[in-house]
Structure 1
């Protein structure tokens, strides 16, 4: 038979399982024969070898990086990783996996975090928020995660997380120090401890107060619904201007958003007995 053509019929994807390979680093030593013949001591030079990411362990950069990816991105805890690695022939304890994560953070991530923090504190506009997290599935033991990030329209965005057992103003003061720019936050009293920052209220939190106060099936005369509608109108304008450059957006805000905000604040003063009770 003579082949007269070939046609693609179907495609399929192959899965190639991960592999573990032992890489032996061998250091070569060299001796100068000429020096040895004319000197009482030998001149020995050792070749350079790649530095281990962590001392006294089998963890290579790729292996350690993969364990961190599994733990923090895929949410696979150390004890499950320990079992999976054992099936692949690697006897590594969960204590060692945890050690790799801690030391990698200390040696490599902490210096990077410090550099990013320094750059973040030089930005003219920052956002901040905090939320609690229950530890060990207990309803009584709480810890707090704080987030500090640069403005939305910065060319290079920076987002940093900070863990602390407390939600006090000292935490914000320790992190932000004498930051003197605009800080966009929910006006939690902790941020009032900052001596130099200019606090800017968050409209999302304002809107949430009206949403929480609005009963089900509220009519158009409901004060909470009216406040929510004001916020929605402002949010719609901002959404429409999202792709504009800063100067054009600023001009649009002066022409369209400012009158709407003035109307909103006048409405708040008119209904202050009800509205102010929600804040």
Structure 2
């Protein structure tokens, strides 16, 4: 008696696990538009339409979505998270792509040993979007100061010093003096970052990093706050430096918060790096043709970026998933064995 033939990732399709992995990795890891894949495959004698490849991506997203949902549950049990969002365009039912849609990105903080990155497509940028994703989460959330993250039950917002520094960089360009107020503010922030570099180079534990911040960062922060309070009344409110100082003072409780816990980062740059591959790809394909396509993109980007965070090769991870998921018991909701940190692959991510 022969063993039954393994199920394919897309029933009735010629898409093998390897072929499907090549397509989704090329698009979501390498930002390769599907029409270029059509040309590549055509040169090899395989005639497939762009619509077929797009359908493959949507079906792949549906197949993997239960695993990504399990990754989200894992993420929401972590100590602290980071978040960011960026605009995306979806054609939906009309001829003109809507500019009101957003791709939200949530991820583990920088010291997590089992990091997860989740892309979440939403039709808007309201507080309801964040509340829906973060339902049940209790902990810190580091972001850029966007106010929709405020006031969500259980969430303690943490500010981003990189955003504050950028405002002073803008003010520095507008200063007539070489060492004016913008330069002074940047020097304070640079001292804070110098301490973080020391902690990273010494590979300090979260507790040791907390102690370093309490002993050395807090005095700098207090000095900076006193300077800000004094400078606020001496600058024009609508000037670049005026806006930078106002932003810093308005965000001060959140900007101070990283000093409370050694597991928190000083900024949200790690999430901005994780959203950059999407913005790169967006320049190539401009918009999604359907909501289903946008949701599939969110699912597949979640896998690609979680792979990157765990230093594993997304192609081989996709192959493993496309071979394993179709042949699992449909009632098996435990995906522990398929989490990236639990899967043994022959190749490392590079």
Q: Is TM > 0.5 for Structure 1 vs Structure 2? A: yes
Correspondence for 1:201 = 159
Separation in 2, partners of 1:64, 1:90: 14
Deviation at 1:218, TM superposition (A): 4.7
**CA-to-aligned-CA distance 1:66-116 (integer Å, 9 cap, x gap):** 122222233332222223222322232222111111101101x21121111
Q: TM-score scaled by structure 2?
A: 0.61
Q: What's the Cα RMSD here?
A: 2.3
Q: Does the 8 Å contact 1:130/1:144 carry over to 2?
A: yes
Could you say which residue in structure 2 is the equivalent of 1:35? none
Q: Of the candidates 67, 71, 79, which is equivalent to residue 116 of structure 1?
A: 71
Which position in structure 1 is the counterpart of 2:111? 153
251, 254, 261: which one pairs with 2:221? 261
Structure 2: gaps spanning 5 or more residues: 236-240, 248-350
Number of aligned residue pairs: 233
Q: Structure 1: how far apart are the matches of 2:4 and 2:219? A: 70
**Change over 3 Å in CA distance of 1:134–1:213 after alignment to 2:** farther
Cα deviation for residue 178 of structure 1 reads 3.3
| Cα-to-partner distance string for 1:250-271 (whole Å, 9 max, x where unaligned) | 1111111111111111111112
**Structure 1 residue 68 corresponds to structure 2 residue 24:** yes
- Secondary structure of 1:187's counterpart equals coil
Q: Which has the higher contact order (CA 8 A, sep 6+)?
A: 2
Alpha-carbon distance in structure 2 between the residues aligned to 1:276 and 1:217: 12
Runs of 5+ unmatched residues, structure 1: 1-29, 31-45
CA shift, 1:182, in A, is 0.7
Give the number of the structure whose residues are more often helix, by fraction.
2
Pick closer, same or farther for the CA change 1:216–1:82 going to 2, 3 Å: same
Q: Deviations over 1:23-73 (max 9, x none)?
A: xxxxxxx7xxxxxxxxxxxxxxx7522112211111111111112222223
- 8 Å Cα contact 2:83/2:104 also seen in 1: yes
Task: Give distance in 1, aligned partners of 2:151 and 2:104.
Answer: 16
